[in-house]
Amino acid sequence: MSVVVEMPNQKSPAQQIAADLMRKARIAQEAFAEADQARVDEAVRAVAWSLYKPEHAKELAELAVQDTGLGNVPDKIIKKQRKTFGTLRDLLRVKSVGEIERDDKRGIVKFAKPIGVVGIVTPSTNPGATPVNKTMMAIKGRNAVIVAPSPLGYRTTGLTVEYMRKALAQIGLPEDLVQILPSPVTKDTTQALMEAVDLVVVTGSQDNVRRAYSSGTPAIGVGAGNVPVIIDETANLDDAAKKICASKTFDNATSCSSENSVVIVDAVYDKAIEALKRAGGYLVDPSKKANVVNELWKNGKLNRHLIARDMPVLVKGFGLPEEAAKSKFLMVEETGIGRGYPLSGEKLALVLTVYRASDFKAAKETIRKILDFQGKGHSMGLHTTNMARARELAEELPVVRVLINFAHTFGNGGGFDSGLEFTLTMGCGSWQKNSISENLNYRHFLNITHLVTPIPEDKPSEEALFGPHWAKYGK
């Protein structure tokens, strides 16, 4: 009789790396899981300061631009400090330990519990800010974190993680609450991490988002941006132009919340173009439009040598007049939308596509077509003094966020004059197959226990519930 010997499952090298990190993360998280709210908030402050600290913010911004070539140092410093400061403000105002909510009428009390170990996949566009932003939220929930960085931004993310670990150790907490995949990061090691953790949160490539959702682990991913905004005939044109310029040019348009198209109603089209020029825009001559398209996209993909670059690089790459280099962003007029018109999509560059619409109704339909092509679910904007139009857009268009009279980049991911939570991760809902339709925030890093006690019976009569149906259709 033959004997079958079962061999233990052999881990692949990638799975072994993930397992080793998970073992250390579990030990650290279990030690942190019983922390009270004061201790948790102390940890969140420490992590925040590790990036907000001026010399760290500057060092990491310089390293990011040096390694990735994306964005610019001054804006990356601002982004790191602004997002960190705003997120810290949000987190210190809420409870995440013990009882966090009570509804005596319904007899329900809610208690927050940790999720465990969170895998964080981060992009090359924000290799310093995104890891800290998500770690702050995860730590608020008493979780441990393992970061899977973009290979292009590995040095920046690695140093960022090192600073966070030192900050935790300084206040007497396990530094293994924050870890990073070892270099070189591969699809295999990232996949193994996704499968091993208790929650995976992905910002970056849609390939990573799809992998996360199919990993078997609860996942939060985001969709592609392609923000269109309307300028209507009631708008303060100079105010709108200044805000669009500030938002479009921030960190050389690396943000998914950066305006990609502006739709201007005919009644103020020429005046709006002049306002945009005064704000720093340069209107590309129609004869040069093909240059922009052919150079910004190569083989159907955005040209990495031109995205998120300074204006002189774009002007040289597109073969534009020298005077264009003195501007802050380029405007290219377009009429088409869809695959055959790449300017209608996300550009990640200092290029703003301009559409003319006969009236507000036509502008709304142009926005709808742009979103149907790319960016559905993400967000859009409107510059107006007619608030009825704002409500109309919010009721009708397939986006999670409609921003009114904002510099879009500074309101969409949270702002000091915006009620949205500070974040670097914007959910796009089922429109982009995302599991959330709001800004990522601390609540997504909590398990919630519901304590339920008896309440007076709340049982309406059959007549109350079925009466309208009976009256119209009979029993």
Virtual torsion, Cα 249, 253, 258, 261, nearest 10 deg:
90
CA distance 249 to 258: 8
Q: In what order do the strands lie in the sheet with 108-114?
A: 98-103, 108-114, 446-452
CA distance 196 to 79: 31
Token code pair at residue 56: 């760290």
CA distance 333 to 177: 50
Whole-Å CA distances, 320 to 100, 260, 268, 296, 397: 58, 20, 27, 13, 36
CA distance 227 to 239: 19
Pick the closest to residue 248 from 118, 347, 144 (CA basis). Answer: 347
Counted residue by residue, the chain has a size of: 475
DSSP E strands in 153-218: the ranges are 178-180, 199-202
CA distance 118 to 142: 10
CA distance 48 to 254: 22
CA distance 238 to 250: 18
Q: Which of 196, 219, 256, 320 is flagged as catalytic?
A: 256
**CB-based contact 163:51 (threshold 8 Å):** yes
Q: For tokens 């200044």, name the residue.
A: 242
Dmax over CA atoms of the chain, in Å, equals 91
Query: Pairing state of beta strands 281-283 and 329-333?
Result: parallel
DSSP E strands in 155-298: the ranges are 178-180, 199-202, 219-221, 227-231, 259-265, 281-283, 297-298
Query: How many CA atoms are closer than 13 Å to the CA of 410, on its beta-carbon side?
Result: 18
Our answer to whether residue 428 is catalytic in this structure is no
Show which residues are catalytic: 256
